[in-house]
Amino acid sequence: MQIFIQTIDAATVVTINGELDGKTAPIIQSQLAQACAPGCQIVLDMQHVNYLSSAGLRMLLMLNRQIAGLNGRIVIVGLSSDLIDTLAETGFLAYLQIEETLDLGLVALHKNFEAQDDYRNNSPRADRFAPDPQLRSV
């Protein structure tokens, strides 16, 4: 696994090549420690990540929380549709901000912050006993 860090438009762009699993996750975390400062803006480019394990997913989540706690922003780009599937199926997708490409990621970083709060937006619990009004036309 290799990791490249560069700065583009005041954002830190971290490119990961190879596996993101229990062994490599701590390496990535320690490499990013410096970039994680209050108000930081980070793009994680994962288009060359060929394997993402359970530990890797959890690292992404922790990173997300860590950066949110610093009032920073992190966007993940370049995920394959298989990986996005996995994130959706295991419930992790809702917590992460995903964009298709690096350019879109950089654009998203500079946009308004409020969108991030949608992650935690619980849809209202369905009223268990009332008939669903949408079903009248059945």
Partner 1 sequence: MPSGVNFAIYSRHATECTLVLFQRGDPQPMIEIPFPHEFRIGDVFTMIVFDLDIETIEYGFRLEGPYDPSSGHRFDASKILLDPYAKGVSGRDTWGQPPDWDNAFQHRSFLIYDDFDWESDTPLRTPMEDLIIYEMHVRGFTRHPSSGSRHPGTFAALREKIPYLRQLGVNCVELLPIFEFDEHENSRPNPATGETLLNYWGYSTVGFFAPKAGYAATARLGMQADELKTLVKELHRNGIEVILDVVFNHTAEGNEHGPMISFRGIDNQTYYMLTPEGYYYNFSGTGNTLNCNNPIVRDLVCDCLRYWVSEYHIDGFRFDLAAILGRAPSGAPLSNPPLLESLAYDPVLGTCKLIAEAWDAGGLYQVGTFPSYGRWAEWNGKYRDAMRRFLKGDAGLVGEVSQRVQGSPDIYAWRGPTASVNFFTCHDGFTLADLVSYNQKHNDANGEGNRDGGDDNNSWNCGWEGPTDDPGVLALRRRQIKNALALLLVSQGVPMIQMGDELGRTQQGNNNTYCHDSELNWLDWSMVEANAELLRFARACIHFRRAHPALRSHQHFRNTDYMGSGFADITWHGTQAWNADWSDGSRVLAFMLCGKHAKGGTATDSNIYVAINMHWGALAFEIPALPAGRMWSVFANTGAESPGDCSMPGDEPLLPDQRSILVGGRSIVILIGQ
Choice between 86 and 97, CB closer to partner 1: 86
> 134 CB contacts (<8 Å, ≥6 apart)?
none
Q: How far is the CB of 74 from partner 1 (least distance, A)?
A: 17
Number of residues that bind partner 1 (CB under 8 A): 32
| Contact string 60-89 vs partner 1 (x = CB under 8 A) | -x-----------------------xx-xx
CB 32 within 8 A of CB 4: no
- Which of 33, 39, 91, 113 lies at the binding interface for partner 1 (CB under 8 A)? 91
Q: Other C-beta atoms within 10 Å of 70: how many? A: 13
> Measured between alpha carbons, how far is 65 from 69 in angstroms, rounded to an integer?
6
Q: Among residue numbers 9 through 48, which ones bind partner 1 (CB under 8 A)?
A: 21-23
Should residue 114 be labelled a site residue for partner 1 when binding is judged by CB under 8 A? no
Q: Which tokens in the block code for residue 93?
A: 């997708």
- C-beta of residue 56 within 8 angstroms of C-beta of residue 47: no
List 77's β-bridge partners, or say none. Answer: 45, 99
117 contributes a contact to partner 1 by CB under 8 A: no
Residues in contact with partner 1 by CB under 8 A are 21-23, 52-55, 57-58, 61, 85-86, 88-92, 95, 120, 122-123, 125-132, 135-136, 138
